[in-house]
Chains A and B, each alone.
Chain A
């Protein structure tokens, strides 16, 4: 783990931002050129949405990874969180501009369709988190910052539920995402003490 942590220390954060953002234009290019199949709008929407969920899960995993396995990815947590928000934004824009297109239908969808209401809810919860991600905000808000950023938990549950609810039939993949989110939250709920003991780390 020490070796891994050393590697992580050498990797600059800007590189993570760059690598993390690259799939957005790449997927858009694939959509334009047939690389996402014959229905690129839905495909692009889903790809962006899934990347957002994956980054959300990574964000949630960073603290338990450090606590339980000693793997320190803390310096990338803000990048992961902001990239997640970036993909949520991409996902939302594809839905608004390319998919639904019709303003009245967009409003009806948000109000009447629970999975969209929930998805929008997750987006709204993430807004203040993205807006208070700077060092300045962290300093100014102090303890309130940590409390505010627990909204991540709610956003994660809503985001994963959004995926489960939009699927037709009993599908496995969205349930895996929801399961991971709930597992990572349960790790926090269970309290750190016995978990630390169980893992034999930092007792």
Chain B
């Protein structure tokens, strides 16, 4: 894990990664289950019960079942990862996460031969999630990765930020973080992980396949139909913040480009 932490730091060597503030990271969120406004999650997510919490791991695994959050924490080693976070809406942050590699959790459950994809699901509990009163998306929120993406050492399940447990609005108690993909791939408050041999349906892709592909890798050369992805605005610069160029794979090209060798990234966007 130490080597991989160095790897993660190297990825940001071209520009020192200075994390955003606690206030920025925890007050400006997209978590549509609590409303579509950026401030809605921090205002309403407090009512989400995160204890007890368990994650169902099922599908093509040797040890399917309900894994309690405590049980998972007991098996995993937490480490810090400071990652760029690039939203599909063309804003970005730098977040100091704490978490463990998703690969370790998948290995714990025992990935079976033939599994090719990992599907994830967010908690869907209307009584605690006012945003789900409207069908902004087809709840529950779903995401997915190819197995090799899921097993990549940069892919983590985060349980904290800034050394604190994840606040609810950031996806407590545990969420996915895939730093080279647009933020919506990093699904929050995960309750189910399913190993499968089929590409799983994912929420934004279902809502608008023209705009949100299954891969959704950060790519300055492939624009969103409604806006350019060539540049981004780092949160925290105030009213006169300048835009900065968006990096290929969000700056993790050296680590992940090989996963997509031979693929036309404008087709598999």
Contact = CB atoms under 8 A, between A and B. Distances in A.
B136 interface: yes
A164 B207 CA distance: 15
Interface string B171-208: 00000000000000000000000000000000010010
A105 B231 CA distance: 10
A32 interface: yes
Interface stretch (A1-9, A76-84, A107-115): A107-115
Given A101-B242, A171-B36, A172-B134, A113 B227 contact: yes
Nearest to B20: A38
Contacts of B227: 109, 113
Interface stretch (B22-30, B49-57, B66-74, B155-163): B22-30
A44 B238 CA distance: 11
Given A101-B242, A102-B243, A170-B207, A113 B226 contact: yes
A166 interface: yes
Interface string B230-245: 1101011011111100
Give the secondary structure class of B's interface.
Answer: loop
A114 B32 CA distance: 25
Classify chain B's interface size.
20 to 34
B222 interface: no
A98 B233 CA distance: 11
Contacts of B233: 39, 41
Contact of B239 (A44, A100, A109, A168): A44
Contacts, number: 65
Contact of A98 (B27, B39, B239): B239
Contact of A101 (B38, B236, B243): B243
B243 A38 contact: no
Contact of A38 (B27, B137, B226, B230): B27
Classify chain A's interface size.
20 to 34
Contacts of B27: 37-38
Contacts of B230: 105
A39 B91 contact: yes
Contacts of A171: 36, 134, 136
Contacts of A172: 134
Contacts of A167: 36
B234 to A, nearest CB: 10
Give the secondary structure class of A's interface.
Answer: helix
Contacts of A102: 231, 243
Given A32-B238, A44-B239, A170-B207, A38 B28 contact: yes
Nearest to A108: B228
A166 B36 CA distance: 13
Interface string B33-63: 0001011000000000000000000000000
Nearest to B25: A38
A170 B228 contact: no
B38 A170 contact: no
A20 interface: no
B171 to A, nearest CB: 18
B134 A170 contact: yes
Contacts of A31: 239
B206 to A, nearest CB: 11
A39 B235 CA distance: 6
13 contacts: A38-B23, A38-B28, A39-B91, A39-B233, A40-B239, A41-B241, A98-B239, A100-B243, A169-B32, A169-B36, A169-B136, A169-B137, A172-B134
7 interchain residue pairs of minimum CB distance: A169-B136, A38-B24, A31-B239, A40-B239, A38-B28, A170-B136, A169-B137
Given A115-B226, A169-B204, 13 more contacts: A38-B235, A39-B28, A40-B239, A41-B241, A98-B239, A98-B240, A105-B228, A165-B226, A169-B137, A169-B207, A170-B135, A171-B134, A171-B136
Interface of A: 28, 31-32, 37-42, 44, 98, 100-102, 105, 108-109, 113-115, 165-173
